[in-house]
Amino acid sequence: MEPAFGEVNQLGGVFVNGRPLPNAIRLRIVELAQLGIRPCDISRQLRVSHGCVSKILARYNETGSILPGAIGGSKPRVTTPTVVKHIRTYKQRDPGIFAWEIRDRLLADGVCDKYNVPSVSSISRILRNKIGNLSQQSHYDSHKQHHHATAASALQYNHIYSYTNPITAGAKVPTPPGMHSLPSTMAMPRTWPSSHSVTDILGIRSITDQVSDTSPYHSPKVEEWSSLSRNGFQSTQHMINGLDKGSIDQEVKYSQTASGLPTVGSFVAASGMTPYPTAAPVSPYMAYGTAAPTGRRIKSKHPFPQISAVLPHIPTPRDSCSYAKCIEFKDNPFHLT
DNA sequence: ATCGTAACGGTTGAA
DNA sequence: GTTTCAACCGTTACG
């Protein structure tokens, strides 16, 4: 359940425990950093803990994305229907086969790779629970099952998990930014926006602004706006740094000075940066985008790349299967009226 | 003073 | 419909 109210951190900023900062704040952190503002000053100005600033900047530096990681869900199973089907086949052909032999065969036949091959114990469990006494199965049945399993797995898993792709097989496998050699099965999972770049994020945001309500906190779920993101609201003329100015203006309201505490704004003017409003109502939770590609520990050659850069998102298996939804704040505790 | 990060309490969503 | 579990979150405190 969403809390009725957010909490206030030591800096006077409002946050919701367990929930990501809104994209507007995340974006601001990156923008300020690009302008040469020190993280400690960013922390003070935005009233976000320095640990959070550090984390967001580090992630941006490594992934090019300002977005939070994907929350919730489960890791994709390794015992996909396809794998079970192969195990069944092996067992049928050689009823005395050992689990470890099956494991080796799965690897040898390319059904799995070293990242997603089931453990011996998992195979044993499959043999015990899912396959049982194969000798009582007719060949016709098994063939039919085989066929269905293949189709089903192709539909349900292949385009999402792409287990045999060594790039995506491990969630922590680094993937260079800008890589375009993704197999088609990974290029565009079912409900995922094509990019986690700021451009796409705000492109999406610009659309959601149009379709959403007056509450800056409510955002459509990805199921809704992932399709929007594909319908050509890429960059437009009123983009600033790849961002929709309107959306920025709206999200800028997040600046945390509602408590009446003095803002830390002197250095803002001195730095010549965009003069963000510094005394706007607190409204921390606006639309969230989709998850950042967490776990991709990319050592960027270009620290703090321009935020307008479009960096294709290379989804991890976990990304693509379970993080399709953005965060929705229906009852935003921070929405001041 | 600044920054990186582990611990913590929390949320989320697939299985 | 509920529970479990492992992912993530931001804050805090420590070094």
Higher-scoring residue by pLDDT: A56, A153: A56
Q: A191-220 pLDDT, tens per residue?
A: 333 333 344 444 333 333 333 333 333 333
DSSP A71-120: PS--PPPSS-HHHHHHHHHHHHH-TT--HHHHHHHHHHTTSS-TTTPPPH
Q: Using the CB atom, is residue A54 less than 7 Å from strand B?
A: yes
The confidence band for A11, taking pLDDT boundaries of 50, 70 and 90, is: very high
The confidence band for A35, taking pLDDT boundaries of 50, 70 and 90, is: very high
**A73 CA to C6 C1' distance (Å):** 8
pLDDT mean over A104-113: 83
The confidence band for A130, taking pLDDT boundaries of 50, 70 and 90, is: low
Residue A66 confidence (pLDDT) above 50: yes
The confidence band for A232, taking pLDDT boundaries of 50, 70 and 90, is: very low
Which H or E run contains A7?
A: strand A7-8
pLDDT mean over A214-233: 33
Give residue A293's pLDDT.
Answer: 54
The nucleotide closest to A160 (CA, C1' atoms)? B14
pLDDT mean over A156-170: 31
CB A79 within 8 A of CB A64: no
Residues 6+ apart with CB under 8 A from A33: A39, A42, A57, A60, A304
What is the pTM (predicted TM-score) of this model?
A: 0.51
Q: Using the CB atom, is residue A55 less than 7 Å from strand C?
A: yes
Residue A68 confidence (pLDDT) above 60: yes
Q: How far apart are the first and last CA of chain A?
A: 22
Q: Using the CB atom, is residue A77 less than 7 Å from strand C?
A: no
SS (H, E, C) A171-232: CCCCCCCCCCCCCHHHHCCCCCCCECCHHHHHHHHHHHHHHCCCCCCCCCCHHHHHHHHHCC
Residue A26 confidence (pLDDT) above 50: yes
The confidence band for A292, taking pLDDT boundaries of 50, 70 and 90, is: low
For chain A, give the mean pLDDT: 56
Positions in chain B where some atom is under 7 Å from a protein CB: 1-7, 9-15
